[in-house]
Amino acid sequence: MITPKQRAELKGYANSLPCAFQVGKGGLNDNQIAQIDDYLRVHELVKLGVLDNSLYSAREAAEEIAEKINADVVQVIGSKAVLYKPNPKDPVIKLKNK
């Protein structure tokens, strides 16, 4: 669980990130969730886009993915969501406020 100060710090990092994954009309499948988990293992922070024709809202998609891979939802704005999952062995992002 991240603190509000850590969440604010992560939001700052996420501003410049491009969307790495999109959720479309096919919804979420196990393969896509596994790819997101692998991406987070390397980068720790990912921005997702949810297309208008998706069966999910950005909030629903982010919460479902976060629950399945044990990540934190940093923010959801419009059709974009940001997830964070720290790498316990080799952290990329060193959060200042713990």
Which residues lie closer than 8 Å to 32 by C-beta, 6 or more apart? 21, 23
Predicted pLDDT of residue 70? 95
Which residues, listed in sequence order, are joined to residue 36 by a DSSP beta bridge? Answer: none
Predicted pLDDT of residue 35? 96
CA distances to 52, 71, 94 from 41, rounded to whole Å, are 28, 11, 14
Domains of the chain: 4-84 (3.30.110.60)
Residue 63 contacts residue 44 (beta carbons within 8 Å): no
Q: Write the pLDDT tens digit of every residue in 30-81.
A: 999 999 999 999 999 999 999 999 999 999 999 999 999 999 999 999 999 9
pTM value is 0.92
**Can you tell me the mean pLDDT for 5-10?**
93
